[in-house]
Amino acid sequence: MTKRVLTTESGAPVADNQNSATAGVGGPLLLQDQHLLEKLARFNRERIPERVVHARGSGAYGYFEVTDDVTGFTRADFLSAVGKRTETFIRFSTVADSLGGADAVRDPRGFALKFYTDEGNYDLVGNNTPVFFIKDPIKFPDFIHSQKRDPFTGRQEPDNVWDFWAHAPEATHQVTWLMGDRGIPASYRHMNGYGSHTYQWTNAAGEAFFVKYHFKTNQGVRSLSSEQAAELAGKDNSSHQTDLLQAIERGTNPSWTLYVQVMPAAEAADYRFNPFDLTKVWPHSDYPLQRVGRLVLDRNPDNVFAEVEQAAFSPNNFVPGIGPSPDKMLQGRLFAYADAHRYRLGVNHTQLPVNAPRTAVVDNYGRDGLHATRNGARHDKNYEPNSYAGPAQTDAALSAPLAIHGWTGTHAAPAHTKDDDFFQAGELYRLMSEDEKGRLVANIAGGLSQVTRDDVIEKNLAHFHAADADYGKRVEEAVRALRED
């Protein structure tokens, strides 16, 4: 076998990779040692800015296979026939901590999925919870600041966490999810995934439906107690990454079954609560789960940085037959996600292998910028319209138009007959067993009891009382007992 030759970035062979060039034996280094300078300079630039949220993640390739006919709801090509397979890439992540944080922590998990369809990439960006803490994107930076490390102490502060939630009663539902048994998944394989937001599907006849995505794990839901998680995080900081990597390497390919809830668009306006409110779920009794297909992960990335850290998911990457809804949080993320990637990875991040379409042809007038690899041929024009047979619009909308009315301005969310910040949190609590309720109360009290301001504690207790009288009473008693110790 021919021996491979080590080269510089320009392709020149490297004569010595063990010793720097010096002025005589034992003398000072020489500025002319191009290999040394290039090597150190490149090393200094190996890291890019980490994600502000979802910084710590793991990923894998796989495929999505359609198992049920959903063409009555959407004309999306990758969902057009039973048995059709589409290559996918998924990135799991924690939300609040930095790239150096532990996997086994109490935190929502990102569940971001890229479908490499024949009509372009479709990105579905969700979490392992069907709801979220807030319903308006203008509050998102403040929410994340309250959950991340304090600028002075350099650690997550209960005062900040609970003070924000005290002023965000709509967070009570998600707090109940987070502090409950599913708050710390045993692994990425043993948790469900949700699109969380409401999306729009449009069929071939132009009929519009609103949908919610549910990926149910076929491994079964397994979670960790706070004590188990602390022990595991101490043993293996990368426990979830280790589990995912090893499962796929040994051929135990994790899978999920995708279901959707489907609401005819005409029913949204008169539904009993705002169906586009990210802090609420649609009861299955109103809109039952309908099976769509299965997601299987069967290949690990060859390079975590190139494929997991440089993976860019943007919820504005739609394909024909799928589009946005009036969900305000989704609307904000349509801009924010893509903009974050332009900052972290550059304007041409879509040309990186993990982000580039597999079969769809990219043909537009985007040019130049850092790391441009697709700038067109000699006679290609960079403007449109033109007289040179350049790519032209299709005049076919990806999804159905959304009707709007009213005055511009900053408006509170529209009120429906049953809109309420606490009812669904109470419903979730009442579904729990006595053991689950006990662990939930203990988890909440453990954090809330550390808050130094009595008024912040009282505001949070009021939220739990409003959700369920027993819920509030038990949390209040547990907090009081911990503070008296």
DSSP code of 143?
Answer: H
Task: Give me the half-sphere count of Cα atoms (radius 13 Å) on the Cβ side of residue 391.
Answer: 10
**What single-letter DSSP state applies at residue 103?**
S
Residue 469: enclosing H or E segment and its boundaries? helix 469-484
Contacts of 252 (CB under 8 A, 6+ apart): none
List the catalytic residue out of 17, 44, 121, 127: 127
Q: Which one-letter DSSP state was computed for residue 29?
A: B
Q: Which of 286, 289, 288, 264 is nearest to 72 (CA)?
A: 264
Rounded Cα–Cα distance for residues 331 and 308 (Å): 25
Query: Vertex 66, ends 65 and 70: CA angle to 5°?
Result: 160
Verify whether residue 341 is a known catalytic residue: no
Q: Among all chains, which residue has been given the structure tokens 């959950």? A: 147
Please count the other Cβ atoms lying within 10 Å of the Cβ belonging to residue 482: 15
- Catalytic option among 54, 214, 341, 463: 54
Give φ, ψ of 78 to 5 degrees.
Answer: -70, -10
Residue 39 dihedral angles phi and psi, to the nearest 5°: -65, -45
* Alpha-carbon separation of residue 17 from 9, 11, 39, 186 (angstroms): 14, 15, 10, 44
Establish whether 416 is a catalytic residue: no
Q: Which residues are catalytic?
A: 54, 127
